[in-house]
Chains A and B, each alone.
Chain A
Amino acid sequence: MNRAPHAQEKETLLEVRDLSIAFASGRSLLMAVDRVGLHVATGETLALLGESGCGKSATALALLRLLPAAGRIVGGQVSFAGRDLLALPETEMRGVRGGGMAMIFQEPATSLNPVLTIGHQVAEVLVRHLGLAGSEARARAFELLTAVGIADAARRLDEYPFQLSGGMKQRVMIAVALAANPRLLIADEPTTALDVTMQAQILELLRRLQVERAMGMLLITHDLGVVAQLATRVGVMYAGEIVEEAPRDSFFSSPRHPYTQKLFAALPDLARRGGRLETIPGQVPPLSGMPAGCRFAARCAHAWQHCREEAPDWRLVGPAHRVRCHLVDGLAAQIGGAASPVASAPAGSSPPAPSVLSVTDLCVHFPIRRGVLQRTVGHVRAVDGVSLELARGQTLALVGESGCGKTTVGKAVLQLLPVAGGSVRLLGEELGACSRAALRQLRRRMQMIFQDPFASLNPRLAVGEIIGEGMRALGTTVDRRHEAAAIAAVLQQVGLDPAAAERYPHEFSGGQRQRIAIARALAVQPDLVICDEPTSALDVSVQAQILNLLASLQVELGLAYLFITHNFAVVDHLADLVAVMYLGRIVEQGTVDEVLRSPQHPYTWALLSAVPSLRLEEQPEFVRLPGEIPSPANPPAGCHFHPRCRQAMVTCGARYPQKTALSGTHSVSCHLYP
């Protein structure tokens, strides 16, 4: 954290002036980035923050002159270490890419070539930029892999990408980017595809490397938590413009642009628990229809006539803190004080409601088949003895890293997957023992909302048909006229225009699609809704809209939610109960306050410490989890977590711990609590 000494002697590395980027569409050019100016000094991290479609990635690609074929740089200057990049010939530009500035991409799984060894891919850069070859290159590659924290680097050099986990691949990508000692590192959403524990490790690694090498870093992200962890300065992008630029501390303590303030307010947080989140109405304007005045005016609560007529210019509002807004002077920082009143009563005070869902010892095993005759040689124990209890009007959050079996639990409850053992009771009826016909009747009592709103709606059907399908299949409506009225009603319930029934999914944005998916589930009037990461594919402001919608529907209809997620802020905001899963089993279970405020299991503790906090001083010490999540086909003996646990004892390796009740609602499976 000792960046202060650098601040005095820093030299400007990258200077971008009035950079404009347009995309060719037919005969017209659509401006994607409009006169963006930024600068990065050595040892400094500038974070570009914004929602999807704001031109962040286009800006980064333009700096490297790697825009896709339709993209054009239509104006501006980019000078890097004194050289004008836009005027360089392509041959010299190749030396700058990788040698001068390097880029880390979002998706580690697709950024590495699957048919080349790790060592080969690192050496490729060394050969090109440093002229190293043979054993020299190999030795250097070994050093690099060690530097990015890959254990047993000598062996990894000869391995292929498929043998590494996601976090390791991202480490390799960082090693490749660092190979030619770049002076500027561009990181485009470097941790978005990773789990929280991996994200924390990668952020820590980036921070360490930057200090060691005094690199400049341009960080592109939509995650305020990542910004708080890594940035020294922050630039907020909206609709192709930078609207606010500030040093980190003043950015987090007093954001000045209404858009930035809304972004903060839209984050689910403990302070607004149970209440409604601030949302930003509307969406980012399309490239073809940019408003003439301030681009945010249409969505801004404080906009006045002047905003719609004239685009605001930069105003300095503090040391190195500037903002593009007309009403800077009249607007006080509102962050923190804007919490809406708490709407629902605290969960504890209500009388215990009847149980909607009761799961006991649920097991889902996938057979592993080998050989010519496809004989079953073993089982992947994706879910291995999970017990849950969920009452009417309650929300149970199921959290854990990817691959721990959360989604499998959801699908097994819905009987979309064969259940190997245990029982699932919905409203007192045993689902496993049901006949097909009886199960059909129970299907309307439980529905699911999926993660990706782009994959969960059939693109070939109109919205009305999508929503009506469930009603027709389950026979909840009789005639067509009645059905049309029911569809219109449910569309209104989720905040869409009933006319949407005639249109097709591709005409809607991500948030609207998720509303349609919710409407489809609600159309059959279920009692239980399983939400499988319903907001993880959405932007922060849209996420807030969907969370608000889910909360108000729960109050109105008394729905029970089984909420599957890895986002602890959402859990904190929405859930009553939390169950933490690790490798197919629940390791800790209790109310939100019990689990998130006083976590008992070492795994819960590690998970919580990895969540990036907006306030650095509040960040608990990061409990680093060594190694990777093991394969559920071959779980470790004894407690599944013990190989990664700092407090492991002899007994941990010997047998799986019993469930220990710490209070009426809080239980944990760990040998530390006998």
Chain B
Amino acid sequence: MAPVVLWSDALIWLLVAAALAFAWGSRRNPLLRAAWQRVGRSRTGMASATVLLFYVCVGLLDSLHFRPRLESGETQIAASSERKPAVYAVQVLSLLDAVLSPLRTRSEKTYSEPLATRAHAKEAIELRDASGRVRQIRDYPRLQYGGAHLGADETRRDADIGERLLRALAIALLVWWALAAATATALARIEACSHVEAWRRIWCNETGFACNAVLAVIAALLLVGIALGQLAVDYHVFGTDKVGQDVLYQVLKSVRTALVIGLVTTLVMLPLAVFLGVVAGYFRGWVDDLIQYLYTTLSSIPGVLLIAAAVLMMQVVIDTHPQWFATAAERADLRLLALCFILGVTSWTGLCRLLRGETLKLRELEYIQAAQAFAVSDLRILARHILPNLMHIVIIALVMDFSSLVLAEAVLSYVGIGVDPTMISFGTMINNARLELAREPAVWWSLAAAFVFMFTLVLAANLLADAVRDAFDPRLAGAA
């Protein structure tokens, strides 16, 4: 197979590298380290961080792309012409696709309910009876893959599901127990106490890190994850959509889109907001007037309108230059990045205004005047005195904006100006579910699955944002 690096992949891994570098830098700075330790002690914060980490892992798995090598039809020809260059598929797959290939490939004809063995709607089925005569009946057709291992004995389905759940529970307990024991051993070694004592400290929350919350969340994740895995092998756990694709697969693919929108957009927005805000607040005068004029104008244009116009223009450019893209995935990816860029350029005003106000306050502080009295250059004052004292606002805004951007993507895709239609995202899933809900009987599962996954992601991000704000806000953190 041939690896493919999409633009968004590069940005995502760049972000991961930046986050690691920041974490390493934080370890060396005692103030930042103390703040992150406060986050580590917060139980809701660490619980939501664990959930987020799960999402991030899914997203990262989905960010390693490759084109699979096409197997030549006749092996003898392949053997005779070994020097012929390998042929790769047009389709770009990710590591996640490879892991989930059973889910990806086992498509039914159309809708089926979660865990169903038969389709959602009746169809005319041709049956050949004993006499060899073809008879037409209307019934729910049997699914091609869902519950196929049961054979004709469909009544065994409930017992089978129960059995699988029990097995999942047992495995989850076993894995979790091993993890918890390993944690306790590690703690016992670090704090030089007995194993039992370490165990007690974890559950009485007397450690410097909210271990108990993390372990509890891991237990829940393991339970749900292993149960899903056990069931997904032979069933469509969340049912299938209109074209028969597994909804669980779609939901997992949506995670990456949401993360890219949330993270890359802030990456675009942050330098603009920080630079313009700080410069406006520090230099005042005509610079301030200009920047204020810019963001006041920008924020008075209705946001959706501006984004719609930009997205439509971008779409025209992409459609008129098909030669730019080798694969459909590249085109969808560029469109996603362009959306991030447009969202970023239109949403920096809020943070910019906040930072300008804070800088106005900071520049009157005496340590800034002391630096001016030392003839320290303005840029140096900005970098050494103003920016570090704004960092808490930036971090808080970053984490809080993430969740609102994930939601914004869903709204924009619903309106039809979001990501490429071929790209799976929470927004496109909800958009498709719009008409399904109007059917009778309603097709509710695809909307419900998208809702549950997005809700968990945004809730975890919001809770983490709260914990981060509490830890970084100097007024809440107590003695500064």
Determine whether A470 belongs to the interface, using a CB cutoff of 8 Å to chain B. yes
Cβ contact of A452, chosen from B366, B372, B373, B380, cutoff 8 A: B366
User: Can you name the residue of chain B whose Cβ is closest to the Cβ of A470?
Assistant: B374
Determine whether A306 belongs to the interface, using a CB cutoff of 8 Å to chain B. no
User: Can you name the residue of chain B whose Cβ is closest to the Cβ of A452?
Assistant: B366
Cβ contact of A474, chosen from B367, B374, B480, cutoff 8 A: B374
- Residues on the B chain within 8 Å of A452, using CB: 366
User: Can you name the residue of chain A whose Cβ is closest to the Cβ of B385?
Assistant: A458
| A439 lies within 8 A of B369 (CB) | no
Which of A442-450, A544-552, A580-588 is the contact stretch? Answer: A442-450
Determine whether A353 belongs to the interface, using a CB cutoff of 8 Å to chain B. no
Determine whether A451 belongs to the interface, using a CB cutoff of 8 Å to chain B. yes
Cβ contact of B367, chosen from A447, A451, A456, cutoff 8 A: A456
| A416 lies within 8 A of B374 (CB) | no
CB distance from B459 to the nearest CB of A (A): 28
| B366 lies within 8 A of A416 (CB) | no
Determine whether B384 belongs to the interface, using a CB cutoff of 8 Å to chain A. yes
Cβ contact of B31, chosen from A450, A470, A504, cutoff 8 A: A504
Determine whether B44 belongs to the interface, using a CB cutoff of 8 Å to chain A. no
Give the residues from 23 to 54 in chain B that come closer than 8 angstroms, CB to CB, to chain A: 30-31
| A460 lies within 8 A of B369 (CB) | no
CB distance from B478 to the nearest CB of A (A): 10
Give the residues from 17 to 70 in chain A that come closer than 8 angstroms, CB to CB, to chain B: none
Interface of B is mostly: helix
Determine whether B371 belongs to the interface, using a CB cutoff of 8 Å to chain A. yes
Determine whether A378 belongs to the interface, using a CB cutoff of 8 Å to chain B. no
Interface size band for B: 20 to 34
| B367 lies within 8 A of A416 (CB) | no
| A460 lies within 8 A of B366 (CB) | no
| Cα of A469 to Cα of B377 in the assembled complex, Å | 11
| Cα of A452 to Cα of B389 in the assembled complex, Å | 18
Determine whether B305 belongs to the interface, using a CB cutoff of 8 Å to chain A. no
| B389 lies within 8 A of A443 (CB) | no
CB distance from A103 to the nearest CB of B (A): 25
| Cα of A506 to Cα of B31 in the assembled complex, Å | 10
A415-455: CB near B (< 8 Å → 1, else 0) gives 01000000000000000000000011001001110111001
| Cα of A394 to Cα of B356 in the assembled complex, Å | 42
- Residues on the B chain within 8 Å of A118, using CB: none
- Residues on the A chain within 8 Å of B474, using CB: 459
Determine whether A654 belongs to the interface, using a CB cutoff of 8 Å to chain B. no
Determine whether A16 belongs to the interface, using a CB cutoff of 8 Å to chain B. no
Determine whether A520 belongs to the interface, using a CB cutoff of 8 Å to chain B. yes
Determine whether B365 belongs to the interface, using a CB cutoff of 8 Å to chain A. yes
Cβ contact of A448, chosen from B373, B389, B480, cutoff 8 A: B373
Determine whether A411 belongs to the interface, using a CB cutoff of 8 Å to chain B. yes
- Residues on the A chain within 8 Å of B479, using CB: 506
B71-113: CB near A (< 8 Å → 1, else 0) gives 0000000000000000000000000000000000000000000
Determine whether A88 belongs to the interface, using a CB cutoff of 8 Å to chain B. no
Determine whether B190 belongs to the interface, using a CB cutoff of 8 Å to chain A. no
Determine whether A457 belongs to the interface, using a CB cutoff of 8 Å to chain B. yes
| A447 lies within 8 A of B373 (CB) | yes
| Cα of A469 to Cα of B376 in the assembled complex, Å | 8
| A461 lies within 8 A of B384 (CB) | yes
Give the residues from 373 to 394 in chain B that come closer than 8 angstroms, CB to CB, to chain A: 373-377, 380, 384-385, 388-389
| Cα of A160 to Cα of B367 in the assembled complex, Å | 34
Determine whether B370 belongs to the interface, using a CB cutoff of 8 Å to chain A. yes
| B369 lies within 8 A of A450 (CB) | yes
Give the residues from 464 to 480 in chain B that come closer than 8 angstroms, CB to CB, to chain A: 474, 479-480
| Cα of A504 to Cα of B480 in the assembled complex, Å | 10
Determine whether A151 belongs to the interface, using a CB cutoff of 8 Å to chain B. no
CB distance from A24 to the nearest CB of B (A): 13
- Residues on the B chain within 8 Å of A443, using CB: 373-375
Cβ contact of A450, chosen from B366, B377, B385, cutoff 8 A: B366
| B374 lies within 8 A of A473 (CB) | yes
- Residues on the A chain within 8 Å of B377, using CB: 473
CB distance from A435 to the nearest CB of B (A): 12
CB distance from B375 to the nearest CB of A (A): 4
Determine whether A383 belongs to the interface, using a CB cutoff of 8 Å to chain B. no
| A455 lies within 8 A of B373 (CB) | no
CB distance from A196 to the nearest CB of B (A): 24
Determine whether A168 belongs to the interface, using a CB cutoff of 8 Å to chain B. no
| Cα of A458 to Cα of B474 in the assembled complex, Å | 13
| Cα of A451 to Cα of B369 in the assembled complex, Å | 12
**CB within 8 Å for A524 and B389 given contacts A411-B369, A448-B369, A450-B366:** no
| B367 lies within 8 A of A455 (CB) | yes
User: Can you name the residue of chain B whose Cβ is closest to the Cβ of A442?
Assistant: B375
| Cα of A443 to Cα of B370 in the assembled complex, Å | 11
Q: Provide a sorted-by-A list of 7 A–B residue pairs whose CB atoms are within 8 angstroms.
A: A455-B365, A456-B365, A457-B367, A459-B480, A461-B384, A506-B479, A506-B480
Give me the 7 closest cross-chain CB pairs, A-B, nearest first.
A456-B366, A470-B374, A450-B366, A460-B388, A473-B376, A440-B375, A458-B367
